[in-house]
Amino acid sequence: MQPTATVLVYSDDSTTREQVRLATGRRPAPDVPVVEFVECATPAAVLRELDKGGIDVCVLDGEAVPMGGMGVCREIKDEIFGCPPVLLLIARPQDAWLATWSRADAAVTLPVEPVEFASALAALLRRKALASA
């Protein structure tokens, strides 16, 4: 049985969640596990899923409504012990400073560019695997 990694994707926009799934494919790089997704459309759902445990990386949409991924990121970094790494989807490269403020571990711009996204996600999965070893 192949090892799997669980990636939480938060966005109120189903199209954005789909872009993330398509950019990832079965796995974002050959040296990381196959990815399973947990999709969330509300901040409350994100908190519920993180409380359950088992999430390896979070992908948060900075443009989500009513609470953007930056606010959600800052909240979970403050409130979730051992919070998984966060990949933040931002509207513009100039918003990178906001991603830093939110304590995101990485950021890529929307719309999702598959190669850039897969590379960033794979880096966070590798980092999570090293931290867990």
Domain that holds residue 43: 4-132
Mean pLDDT of the chain: 95
pLDDT at residue 1 greater than cutoff 70: no
pLDDT of residue 130: 82
**How much is the average pLDDT of 14-30?**
97
Tell whether the model's pLDDT for residue 31 goes beyond 90.
yes
Residues 38, 125, 133: CA angle, nearest 5 degrees? 115
Q: In whole angstroms, give the CA distance from residue 120 to residue 118.
A: 6
Percent of the chain's residues with pLDDT above 70: 98
What does the pLDDT look like over 33-74, one tens digit per residue?
999 999 999 999 999 999 999 999 999 999 999 999 999 999
**CB-CB contact of 116 with 128 (8 Å):** no
Q: How far apart are CA 131 and CA 127, in angstroms?
A: 6
Helix (H) / strand (E) element for 75: namely helix 69-79
The total number of structural domains in the chain stands at 1
Decide: 76 and 44 in contact? Cβ < 8 Å: no
Angle at 50 between CA 112 and CA 97, to 5 degrees: 45
Gap between the Cα atoms of 128 and 52, Å rounded: 18
Predicted local distance difference test score (pLDDT) of residue 7: 98
Mean pLDDT of 81-107: 94
CATH number, domain of 121, equals 3.40.50.2300
pTM above the 0.85 mark?
yes
pLDDT band at 132 (very low <50, low <70, confident <90, very high): confident
Half-sphere exposure of 58 (CA within 13 A, CB side): 32
